[in-house]
Amino acid sequence: MSFLKINNLSVDYEMRRETVYAAKNVNIDVNRGEILGLVGESGSGKSTVGNAVINLLDEPGKISNGSIILDGINIHEKPESIVKLRGKKIGLIFQDPQTSLNPILTIGEQLIETIQTHLKLTNEEAKNKAINLLKEVGIKETESRFNNYPHQFSGGMRQRVVISLALCCEPELLIADEPTTALDVSIQSQILDLIKRLTKERNLAVILITHDMGVIAETTDRVAVMKNGDLVEIGPTKEILTNPKEVYTKSLVSSVPPTNKKISRFKIIEKENKTQGKTNIKILNRWTKKEIINQDLVQVKNLNKTFDDSFFTETSKNSVMAVNDVSFNIKEGESFGLVGESGSGKSTIAKMIVNLYRPSSGDIFFDNICVTKIKSNKEMMKFRKQIQMIFQDPYSSLNGRLKVKDIISEPIKLHNSSISSKDLNDYIYDLLESVELTQQSAERYPHEFSGGQRQRISIARALATQPRLLVCDEPTSALDVSIQAQILNLLKDLQEQLNLTILFISHDLPVVRQMCDRIAVLRNGELCEIAPTEELFVKPTHNYTKELLTLMPKIESIYS
């Protein structure tokens, strides 16, 4: 007998103009002691199904059909009964720990409040239970951390607190909605081990919602694949990942970057029937292609950057060393990867190279000119034109009040003010075509596009000044696997055809393996090692690199 049974569940959002069918006739069952993975891209309805189980659908969403049976009880017959089950029988781990904790209560107060809502315990008993829970999820010095506020914890620690909150009333069903998306590899593996351990120890039924196939391969027993609100297929994890039946599942599995080898480009199955001809030839006619000579385009020498906390206080004893004596060089035409966990200083280095931050000490040379010593604005403009940046978040890095054509034309007009309007429009269309967007998209606003399309607009904007160096700061971390595969293919093609040099920053090791020729590993602002990609993956020398490589979730682990 399944512990949770979802029968023909449909969830609709009725809007003024249309009805969105977020889930259509979904059938899923979960047993005790097993982890079911729910996988799909954003907008596939996987979070909707999770929220429907505990009746936390946002307005105007409602369950239009179907039943949800938990331990033999239909939990949606009486809406008030779900309030008693929520927290007590069903625990929930949200995606973003930052927003799911109350910032003005201490961690201890939040745990005690939840425990006393569901269990009849005195303050002292509740406090002891809360402290034990925090120990169970691996938070050290629990007695002292108990009275800390959420902002005093790192992302991974906050996520642990959220897990302990979800577990505090000993639920029998745990719904984890992307519990590791915002975390580093090392913390991610700890959180997943924790969920696996608790499933066994407490005989929980777990639904793990995620879009990371590596996590699915290493954690779940069975997996359900969703697309546009439909359940595509469901079965044992090994079977689905090694021998998928549906075209969509095949394309999802083939767009995952392999961790054990380098491939020349990603297979995108849904586009296979269209001709994968040569695109972006038009933009080449305008592009003054640099011949690649064997020289260093970027040289970074003994770079240091400290951020002072002395804004309010007189003393600057609280200064943070973000980058500590880092030196490397990037050859013309190569892809250079910077890898590290959050807080390792990789984005800070990128911002210093494009001159958004001033280094505290050290020099950056671009094409043998020392960038850090440029004083005049005119010189600066010449340099700015040659380096462009693609930012991590495609949502906040585009101006929402400008049409796409104005976003792309801004850098062109700035560096070439005499360009005629017909020429400008042609150039904008060529740029959009080079990133595989239509001419009609020039007239639309950023909010009308999906995340992947917005990232394409950012790339088109970056190419507008015909740069020699493209700095990509986690350009695909906010995107789905299949869209990530398209963007990475696009960057590879553009690099080949336009002789670009790319500085690629990411914490996603498989992606870096596919994209880069050489890789530098950073930790706490210091450089651990630099090596050619394959050498780094096969024979890492530094202990930290070895640790990162063992912890990375591998989709290949399913074959062993």
Question: Based on the domain organization, do 372 and 490 belong to the same domain?
Answer: yes
pLDDT of residue 279: 53
- Tell whether 11 is covered by a domain: no
- Tell whether 408 is covered by a domain: yes
- Tell whether 130 is covered by a domain: yes
Q: How far apart are CA 226 and CA 52, in angstroms?
A: 15
Cβ neighbourhood burial of 113 (10 Å; 0-12, 13-18, 19+): middle
Per DSSP bridges, beta strands 19-30 and 73-74 are unpaired
Question: Based on the domain organization, do 250 and 356 belong to the same domain?
Answer: no
Asked if residues 140 and 131 have their Cβ atoms less than 8 Å apart, the reply is no
Q: How far apart are CA 454 and CA 436, in angstroms?
A: 12
SS3 419: coil
pLDDT tens-place string over residues 285-299:
777 777 777 888 899
Residue 236 preceded by cis peptide, ω within 30: no
SS3 346: helix
- Tell whether 277 is covered by a domain: no
Q: Which two tokens stand for residue 432?
A: 């959009």
Q: Which helix (H) or strand (E) holds 247?
A: helix 247-254
- Tell whether 204 is covered by a domain: yes
SS3 289: coil
Question: Based on the domain organization, do 305 and 219 belong to the same domain?
Answer: no
pLDDT of residue 150: 87
Radius of gyration of the chain (CA): 25
Compute the half-sphere exposure of residue 223: CA atoms within 13 Å on the CB side of its CA.
26
Q: How far apart are CA 29 and CA 558, in angstroms?
A: 22
**Can you tell me which residue has the tokens 């804004």?**
311
Q: Which residues pair with 205 in a beta bridge?
A: 173
User: Which residues of the chain are modeled with pLDDT < 70?
Assistant: 1, 182, 269-281, 309-318, 478, 560
Residues 6 or more apart whose CB falls under 8 angstroms from that of 73 comprise 81
**Can you tell me which residue has the tokens 């892809």?**
335
Domain containing 463 — which CATH number? 3.40.50.300
Asked if residues 34 and 205 have their Cβ atoms less than 8 Å apart, the reply is yes
Domain that holds residue 326: 295-309+319-551
- How many domains is the chain partitioned into structurally? 2
Question: Based on the domain organization, do 333 and 449 belong to the same domain?
Answer: yes
Asked if residues 148 and 134 have their Cβ atoms less than 8 Å apart, the reply is no
Asked if residues 11 and 57 have their Cβ atoms less than 8 Å apart, the reply is yes
CA 502 to chain centre: 20
Q: Which helix (H) or strand (E) holds 338?
A: strand 335-339
- Tell whether 383 is covered by a domain: yes
Q: CA quadruple 263, 269, 272, 276: dihedral positive or negative?
A: negative
Question: Based on the domain organization, do 404 and 539 belong to the same domain?
Answer: yes
Q: Which two tokens stand for residue 411?
A: 């850098």
Asked if residues 163 and 179 have their Cβ atoms less than 8 Å apart, the reply is yes
Amino acid residing at 309: D
Question: Based on the domain organization, do 383 and 494 belong to the same domain?
Answer: yes
Question: Based on the domain organization, do 233 and 303 belong to the same domain?
Answer: no
Question: Based on the domain organization, do 172 and 249 belong to the same domain?
Answer: yes
Q: Quick one: which of 466, 469, 459, 463 has its CA closest to 329?
A: 469
Question: Based on the domain organization, do 249 and 299 belong to the same domain?
Answer: no
Question: Based on the domain organization, do 217 and 303 belong to the same domain?
Answer: no
Question: Based on the domain organization, do 299 and 448 belong to the same domain?
Answer: yes
Q: How far apart are CA 86 and CA 166, in angstroms?
A: 10
pLDDT tens-place string over residues 84-105:
888 788 888 887 777 788 999 9
